[in-house]
Amino acid sequence: MDNDNQVLEKDLQEQEEVLSLTETWSALSPAERREKFKELPRTEAEELFLSLRTHDQAELIAEAAPLEKRGWIRLLAPDDVADLIQEIGLDQKDDLLSLLDPQTRREVTVLLAYAEDAAGGLMSSRFCRLRPEMTVDEAISYIRIQAKTHVETIYYAYVLDSEQKLLGVVSFRELFSATPGRKIEEIMQTDVLKVPVEMDQEQIGRIFAQQDLMAVPVVDETGIMKGIVTFDDVATAIQEEATEDIHKIGAVETLDAPYLKISMAEMLKKRGGWLLILFLGEMFTATAMAFFEDELAKAIVLSMFIPLIISSGGNSGSQASTILIRSIALGEVRLRDWWRVLGREILTGLCLGVLLGAIGFIRIMLWPNRETLYTEHYMMVAATVCVSVMGVVLWGTISGSMLPFILKKVGFDPASASAPAVATLVDVTGLVIYFTVASFLLHGILL
């Protein structure tokens, strides 16, 4: 009994060590990772390897000796091997495929033919298959045999005809609760939710979220079942999509590796391009101010409110673009809904503009030294700021909400309508609105 307790305690300690190493893996240097990985017993090393992200697995594979590579890569399911090859680079595809057994090699080759972010690239070709004419007892015995071949999941069994076309699906609960002699075609569900091989991973993620499924079958254009996409595959893919969108919203090119692994040169490249574009865009702000140089010279007081005007428009535009980008990504808003969004955003922009404009007006009117600071015409200056803020906030809200739709319409990622990009656009146009309002309201008074 003491020996059993010691063995159990040792196993628990090893599991805790693997869990701890998994949690701290991203913070370790490449050298520390290799060292700690080599120190693990084989069983724990396999457990850690299978729990790592594809990028981290690729790093370990790249450093391994040829015989070690063979052992590690054969631990992975075909869809995971396909992801690994895409991560390492297709130039090494043949070398890595040669390490696999013939059956797995064929499966991986088929998966690599599909786009990485499509259902075909995400799916596993290993799933439980049944024939409609089988009895329940025969089906259960056949599933036991299939389970030994490391199928991806055994939550569902898929019923196929002789041409491998999907006829229906049977859950294990339905299978075990049915009488032994019944035919599979009698208990299967024929109304099966399935996805085409070319469907994008974002759309698949929405299906999983809406339907609460563990796996979805993937079929080609003729109805032949090619594989299944499981929840864990989609969860990883959606996390990558969300990360990519967040980077784009922040005006950063997508990072291909964890933050601490990106070299300084790569980081500068990822961030510098967008900053250069935004900097060139902001230069138009100086051009706009130069265009209204005479107005500024006559009424220096107007320059005091330029940061207020610019920030109000930029902030409202950034809010609107961020909300709409996420709504489009979640499928809450479709392209044809643009007019409904426009109506809501016009009303929202007006309300927010009136609120902020009123605060600006009251602030100027109640300021102690308003005659000295804002001239004797402080009331008209306050009115100018109020109307300008209303116009700029309204314009920023409209621009920020409509730009994602425009980008999606022309085939670009709506996330490219990043908050900094919208703010830059509104900065320039906000100045034009401000000085146009000032020219109209202050004509003959200060201008």
What is the C-alpha separation between 26 and 22, in angstroms, rounded?
8
Q: Strand, helix or coil at 316?
A: helix
What is the C-alpha separation between 192 and 170, in angstroms, rounded?
10
Closest CA to 107 of 71, 74, 145: 74
The encoded tokens of residue 440 equal 């109209």
Q: Which domains, from first to last, does the chain contain?
A: 2-114 (1.25.60.10), 128-249 (3.10.580.10), 259-441 (1.10.357.20)
| Dihedral angle over CA of 341, 345, 346, 348, nearest 10 | 140
Distance, CA of 225 to chain centre: 27
Return the pLDDT at 197.
92
Q: Are strands 215-219 and 225-230 parallel, antiparallel or unpaired?
A: antiparallel
What is the C-alpha separation between 121 and 218, in angstroms, rounded?
11
The DSSP secondary-structure symbol of 254 reads P
Each residue's pLDDT, cut to its tens digit, for the chain (447 residues) gives: 455 555 455 555 656 666 777 777 777 777 788 888 888 888 888 888 888 888 888 888 888 887 888 888 888 888 888 888 888 887 888 888 888 888 888 888 888 888 888 888 888 888 888 999 999 999 988 888 887 766 766 778 899 998 899 999 998 888 888 888 899 999 999 888 999 999 988 788 888 878 878 889 999 988 899 989 888 778 777 777 777 777 777 777 777 666 666 777 887 787 777 778 777 877 777 777 777 777 767 778 888 888 888 888 888 988 888 888 888 877 788 888 999 999 999 999 999 999 999 999 999 999 888 887 777 888 998 999 999 999 999 999 999 899 889 888 888 777 766 677 788 888 888 888 988 898 889 887 776
State in Å, rounded, how far the first CA of the chain is from the last one: 96
Return the pLDDT at 7.
47
The encoded tokens of residue 397 equal 């809200």
Per-residue b or e along 170-197, where b marks 16 or more CB atoms closer than 10 Å to that residue's CB:
beeebbeebeeeebbbebbeeebebbeb
The encoded tokens of residue 279 equal 């900097």
Q: Strand, helix or coil at 169?
A: strand
